[in-house]
Amino acid sequence: MRPLIAERAPRRVATPPITEQPRDPAPSIWSYRAQRLWLTPLFRRVVRVGLPSFVVVFGLGVYFADEQSRIAFAANVQDLRQSIESRPEFRVNAMAISGASEAVENDIRAYLGLSFPLSSFDLDLPAMRSRIEALPAIAQADLRIQAGGYLAVNVRERVPVLIWQTREGSVLIDAEGHFVADLAARTLESPLPLIGGDGADHVVDEALAIHAAAAPLADRLLGLVRIGERRWDVVLQDGRRILLPEQGAVQALDRALGLHDATDILNRDVVRLDLRDAERVSVTLSPAAMEALRQERIRARANPTGEQSG
């Protein structure tokens, strides 16, 4: 018998471990295009800003397309505004005016016509300031809403310096020639110089200088009259006039006063003292003085030797 031979087990072949294939790092064509598109500034701006804005605008357009929605929205806005404006911190209860005389203060209150209390949102301060400054007596105005619920109005009045006699009547003007008020509407604390004539309000500074130079004639000075919008006449209480030139009026008046001190000419029968010619002074005598001079000349011609008759 053959010896039994042990059967060998079949050899197992080791199979290599299954490993995953490495992923390709390159993106797909669609992913690549999406990334490239997102890197575009315009596309990002459209997605981040444009698209939300379009959605909001479209939604508002759809909402306000309905008339009832528009009415309801307007009513809600009005109610919200009224609830804010009616709050105590926005309420104005009174108006305080400073820098104005009693008459001007009354004019301001009547001109504005405000009825308190009211909301500060109903006050247009720039427009109110323009209206106040439109008053002739007001040079400048400043309006502020102060804590405590009152409107503070601070004004600077025009100060009258001259009385200007016009064809329509006598008015007060300030140093810049602006109309302040009618003379009858104001009570003056002290007398003011009087001027007259067309265009006198355009040369107030010159009129004031002449009045200052005429201080020695203060007790008999009536006023100044502008002649032809070119020069001045000094008018005295008794009707005498000093005719001043266009240029150097103050200097000419000083010469006239010096002549009066030396000769007492303004107390003689002179009705006009003409200083328009810088080279000479001309005088116009009163009718009585002219008649006396005429008679004297007749007598001189009748008696050329100067002998007395009789």
pLDDT digits (tens, 9 = 90+) for 215-255: 999 889 999 999 999 999 999 998 899 999 999 999 999 99
Superfamily of structural domain 162-295 = Cell division protein FtsQ/DivIB (3.40.50.11690)
Yes or no: say if 93 and 116 are a contact pair by the CB < 8 Å rule: yes
How many residues appear in the chain?
310
pLDDT at 130 over 90: yes
The pLDDT of residue 31 is 78
Higher pLDDT, 28 or 83: 28
Phi/psi for 75 (5° steps) reads -65, -40
Residue 18: strand, helix, or coil: coil
pLDDT band at residue 310 using 50, 70 and 90 as cut-offs: very low
Residue 196: strand, helix, or coil: strand
Across the range 34-48, mean pLDDT stands at 79
Amino acid sitting at position 57: V
Higher pLDDT, 234 or 66: 234
Rounded to whole angstroms, the Cα distance separating 36 from 253 reads 95
| Buried b / exposed e along 256-278 (16+ C-beta atoms within 10 A) | bbebbeeeeebeeebbebbbeee
The pLDDT of residue 13 is 56
Widest CA span in the chain: 225
Yes or no: say if 214 and 221 are a contact pair by the CB < 8 Å rule: yes
Tell me which architecture the domain covering 88-157 has in CATH.
Roll (3.10)
pLDDT at 91 over 90: no
Higher pLDDT, 245 or 57: 245
Across the range 110-130, mean pLDDT stands at 87
Give residue for tokens 């199979």.
15
pLDDT band at residue 1 using 50, 70 and 90 as cut-offs: very low
Q: What is the mean pLDDT of the chain?
A: 83
Question: Which sign does the torsion angle of CA 72, 73, 75, 80 carry?
Answer: positive
Q: What percent of the chain has pLDDT over 70?
A: 84
Helix locations, the chain, DSSP H: 29-38, 41-45, 51-64, 67-85, 102-112, 125-133, 204-213, 249-263, 287-302
Higher pLDDT, 305 or 30: 30
Threshold 0.75, pTM exceeds: no
Residue 184: strand, helix, or coil: helix
**Burial level of 244, CB count in 10 A (0-12/13-18/19+)?**
buried
Which residue from 268, 218, 261, 270 is spatially nearest to 243, judged by alpha carbons?
270
